[in-house]
Structure 1
Amino acid sequence: MSVIDWDDAFANMAYVENSHELPAFWAKRAAAYRAALASARLEQDIAYGNAERQKLDIIWPDGPVQGLAVFVHGGYWMRLDKSHWNDLAEGARARGWAVCIPSYTLTPDARIHQITAEIGAAITTAAGRAGGPICLAGHSAGGHLVSRMLCDDSPLPDAVRARVVHTLSISGLHDLRPLMHTKMNDTLHLDPPEATLESAVLHRPFGSSPLTCWVGGGERPEFLRQSQLMTMIWAGLDVPTHCRIDGMHNHFSVLDGLKDPDAAITAAFLGNPAIEGTST
């Protein structure tokens, strides 16, 4: 028996007041944002594959496109979709970036390694529609997925990988082995080979594209450990890394700054991480 209660270690919603109301709140907020956008600024349900959930949205800036910013949602690979998160595009969009938000097939209908491949296909599709540099961001399970794009077995084609100038993992999961000890694994179906394959901390990077791990100071200790672990290991592999502990934000409020073009987390998303209060 494990000496750590891993179910509790990953129980984000149990430690945030009224968290059961959040999914409906996110969906309503994102729908209001979509309704307020000019129709020319929002492309919805662009297919990047044949499966039902293999679709992405692109939110376009008002002027010339500075580059492509991709945000991958979380939900432990088990829940939610792109429609909950469109409003988080506004910070990057207001700074001139085209913002891609993909959905992906959820477990147990797909294994996690298959979801990783889907995100590679989504980014590749979006990269064919928006030129310039590419910045990646993902939250929680999405942090895992964007970090996997930087690994030595990245599903991204060489031409797309070469355009990735920065990756922001927000409260990301980089060591998946503890998840095998949780009740969630009844849905995730992680086994030792896949947990090893899908743990970015156990990979070498494909190059030296910078990585920032951003985590709220009020999150579960396991999420702070995961962020610190990833930055420490990859710093030793010649990747420019930062670990930013953001005040006392919880696992969900840590995202709110992405709606603000002047927020530090938006700057980090677009490749300019503030280094104050970080470790390397």
Structure 2
Amino acid sequence: MIDYEAEYNNRALVPEHPALIEGWARDASAFRAVATADLAVPYELSERTTYDLFLPAGGMPAQGALGLFIHGGYWQALDRSFFSHMARGLVENGLPCAVANYSLCPDVRIPDIMEEIRRLTGHLWERYRKPVVAFGHSAGGHLTATLLATDWGQRGLPPRLVPAGLSISGLFDLQPLIDTSLNAKLRLTRAEAIAASPIAFGAPAGTRLIAAVGGGESSEFLRQSRVVVDVWGRGGVATELDVRGTDNHFTVIAPLADPGSDLTHTLAGMLRGAC
């Protein structure tokens, strides 16, 4: 029998997580101090519905897509201020990147957050007229997959508004979370967990998804990425599984801040190929 409480308790699995999270905040602040950025741009009226836009030297490029980073925290913790440096890799490769904020549980529910991120993506199109390549970590990986699977044409937006995404340590099957302590704030019912799980969505054929996950993560996080690659791949999505060395849940995103890393080069290629 799987101990879901242990499998999804990343902070217990990585005892050094406080120092790693402090490092995120420090590196994010340092990047903001030198970056060309438009900070705290509202996309809706509530306090947390804002984003930061980071631009390369020379401003918004004429070609290529816009990157959108979506943070993790199990839909109930953290904010964009911890993750500004996740835009550094793209920006130093000449590409723009937005870093999203969104409302948190228990003030809202996961379907509300999914809809907020969809509305943010629509806002980005209306403002910048660029396709969006989403990339996100943990809960942000779930929201990345949500954007790929959204019927944008039904919303009066380009059908392939989000043609590609990179989900890092993503959550694609939410049912295991129901009987964990995480659900005290998430308040997921069985029906809601199924409806909000990307593996239960119609696979968005013609899109591309890379599911990256640390080789040192729990067996459940490894399973989550393997399953979405399999299910969506059979549904016509160009999927790829990227198991990254011995990285844990907190170190696996570090390459995004490095403009020369393999993960940044892959992501930059996704943006350049989106137009």
Q: TM-score, normalised by structure 1?
A: 0.90
CA-CA distance at 1:82 after TM superposition: 0.4
Match of 2:76 in 1: 78
What is the aligned counterpart of 1:143 among 115, 118, 141?
Answer: 141
**What are the residue-to-residue correspondences of 1:112-131 with 2, within 5 Å?**
112-131=110-129
Structure 1 unaligned segments of length 5 or more: list them: 274-280
Task: Determine if contact 1:149/1:156 at 8 Å carries over to the other structure.
Answer: no
After superposition, the C-alpha distances for 1:15-55 in whole angstroms (9 at most, x for unaligned) are 22421233332112211111122xxx200111111111000
Q: Quick check: 1:42 aligned with 2:46? A: no
Structure 2 unaligned segments of length 5 or more: list them: none
What is the aligned counterpart of 1:56 among 34, 51, 55?
Answer: 51
Task: Determine if contact 1:124/1:160 at 8 Å carries over to the other structure.
Answer: no
After superposition, the C-alpha distances for 1:119-144 in whole angstroms (9 at most, x for unaligned) are 11112222233343321101000000
User: How far apart, in 2, do the equivalents of 1:61 and 1:147 lie?
Assistant: 26
Aligned residues: 268
Cα distance 1:238–1:206, how it changes in 2: closer, same or farther (>3 A)?
A: closer
User: How far apart, in 1, do the equivalents of 2:153 and 2:45 lie?
Assistant: 17
Match of 2:27 in 1: 29
Q: Which amino acid aligns with 1:162?
A: R
Counterpart secondary structure, 1:190: coil
Cα distance 1:164–1:12, how it changes in 2: closer, same or farther (>3 A)?
A: same
Q: Which amino acid aligns with 1:229?
A: V
Match of 2:207 in 1: 209
CA-CA distance at 1:110 after TM superposition: 0.6
Q: Which amino acid aligns with 2:113?
A: I
Higher relative contact order (CA 8 A, sep 6+): 2
Match of 1:257 in 2: 255
Match of 2:164 in 1: 166
Q: Mean alpha-carbon deviation: is it higher for 86-95 or for 199-208?
A: 199-208
User: How far apart, in 1, do the equivalents of 2:129 and 2:145 lie?
Assistant: 21
Task: Determine if contact 1:168/1:268 at 8 Å carries over to the other structure.
Answer: no
Cα distance 1:8–1:156, how it changes in 2: closer, same or farther (>3 A)?
A: farther
User: How far apart, in 2, do the equivalents of 1:107 and 1:155 lie?
Assistant: 29
Q: Which amino acid aligns with 2:7?
A: A
- Return structure 1 stretches of 4+ with deviation > 6 angstroms: none
